[in-house]
Structure 1
Amino acid sequence: MGFEWPDWALDMLIGISPNEVMQVLTKQRRWPRRGRGSTGIEMLTIWGRTAAGRPLIVGLRQAEPWQWQIVAARPMSPEQVAEFEKWEQENQ
């Protein structure tokens, strides 16, 4: 599976480095979930932690069968962290 960054998506990263996004995407332990962007576009979200343990959600849109565009990344809310930690506990 390959990942690509549209220029506009890189410009929208605030307080998150591209390296942190790639850490979440390439970790063995991550939680893929269906989601919607702020404009209602369906996407795949990946919930995971950076190497330093920071919980992030990364939004992806499929460009080709094995190619995904990284279209969003943000920190998890406290409620999402609680949900993610529950998933981590159940999936050790």
Structure 2
Amino acid sequence: MTSSKLSAELTSIVRDKLEMGSKEPINVKVLLEKEAVLEKVTLELEAKGLRINNVEEGPNVVITGALEVQNVPAINSVSEVDKIEYDRSY
């Protein structure tokens, strides 16, 4: 799995859940690049399995949501995503 955009904590959680065969959703926080087009990115993230809970707009756009562990690598491939972290707030 490419982990360039995944935080170390999320990488570890994903690896552990995949090894256990868990299909339990993981809560994530997706930080977008400054030039990202929000509508395009949200559609692409949803198409890759992210169930969006909240979008915080501002200088730093943060999207929170949940997705099944096997779909984490898919959202890692979205070009406008800067970083993906585990979201502890849920």
Same fold at TM > 0.5 = no
**Greater RCO, CA 8 A, separation 6+:** 2
TM-score, normalised relative to structure 2: 0.28
